[in-house]
Amino acid sequence: MGRGRAKAKQTKVARELKYRSHDTDLSALAQELASQKARSEERDSDERDYWSDDTDRRD
């Protein structure tokens, strides 16, 4: 017992998030996603370079 207030608050917050109008800055979002993708690709290439001298020999 005692979950009534917590659930009511969660419901209230969920409704606010669902129905409140959001002013989304799409250009800032696109820029952030592009920078994350570039960092991810950079990290992947560094990992490949580190392990490039190792070969998987399954002879």
Spatial distance between the Cα atoms of 20 and 23, rounded to a whole number of angstroms = 10
Residue 35 domain flag:
yes
List, for residues 21-36, the tens digit of each pLDDT value.
Answer: 778 888 998 999 888 8
- Predicted local confidence at residue 24, as pLDDT: 81
Residue 36 domain flag:
yes
Residue 44 domain flag:
yes
Structural domain of residue 32, as residue ranges? 24-51
For residue 7, the number of C-alpha atoms closer than 13 Å in the C-beta half-sphere is 4
Helices (H) and strands (E) in the chain, counts: 2, 0
Domain count, the chain: 1
Residue 33 domain flag:
yes
- Predicted local confidence at residue 50, as pLDDT: 62
pTM assigned to the model: 0.35
pLDDT at residue 57 tops 80: no
- Predicted local confidence at residue 10, as pLDDT: 95
List, for residues 2-22, the tens digit of each pLDDT value.
Answer: 788 999 999 999 999 888 877
Spatial distance between the Cα atoms of 48 and 37, rounded to a whole number of angstroms = 17
